[in-house]
Amino acid sequence: MSSIKLRFISLATLVLVLLLIVFLSVSVSTVAAQDQDERGVNVIAGPHAVRAVMINSNMAAGFIQMALFITDANTGEVVSDARVVVKAENKKEEYEGWATAHNSPNMPDRYDLRMNLGSTGEWVINMDVSSHLGQGGATVMTLEVPALNRYTEGSLVFFGVFAVMALGIVYLFWSTRRNNRRREAAEDESQG
């Protein structure tokens, strides 16, 4: 009877540890996403005021996603007809990349942009904005793309969860075989 209680306690502890790991990893990623949403860069590109906000980025893979909010620098009115070209330069590696940002009728004040930066190192992000107000350019930010790490925090959590689950399965098989041996030994004693 005590071995059954011990098994249930072990299983409950395993489940609680797994739930705690999942909860902590989700809460850490949510806090990181909120921190990114609150950070933004304000620049003036000719007659345009631009607020650039990083939405999602995986700098180890060279991927960025940004939201650009473009207004008239003088009046603060939303500019919904802008043509936005973003150019990324890595002068050390002599790489260049570019992308265009687009808005939608549902969100005329927000221009979305996705870019892949092709190499590691320091990237300077420049923007050229043209609309009925005129044209202007500005340097938005500088990003550092690190060398690709083989293991990230997410993969370490995965390996940890996998190891705990594997140990739990091994324990269940071991305890089942032990109980079967005890049962067989008890049956042999009762028969003999």
* Paired residues of 96 in beta bridges: 89
Cβ distance 41 to 64 under 8 Å? Answer: no
Residue 139 has which token pair? 């340097």
Report how far residue 183's alpha carbon sits from residue 57's, in angstroms, rounded to the nearest whole number: 58
How large is the average pLDDT for residues 40-60? 86
How large is the average pLDDT for residues 16-25? 72
Residue type, 104: S
Domain coordinates in residue numbering, the chain: 2-29+151-191, 42-145
How large is the average pLDDT for residues 64-73? 91
Count CB neighbours of 118 within 10 A: 14
Angle subtended at Cα 174 by Cα 170 and Cα 176, rounded to the nearest 5 degrees: 120
pLDDT in tens, 124-169: 999 999 999 999 999 888 888 877 655 566 777 888 888 888 998 9
The confidence band for 32, taking pLDDT boundaries of 50, 70 and 90, is: very low
**pLDDT value of residue 153:** 66
Report how far residue 54's alpha carbon sits from residue 71's, in angstroms, rounded to the nearest whole number: 18
Cβ distance 157 to 20 under 8 Å? Answer: no
**pLDDT value of residue 2:** 63
**pLDDT value of residue 36:** 43
Under CATH, domain 42-145 is a member of which superfamily?
A: Immunoglobulins (2.60.40.10)
How far CA 175 is from CA of 12, 24, 80, 145, in Å, comes to 16, 31, 67, 49
User: Is the pLDDT reported for residue 63 higher than 70?
Assistant: yes
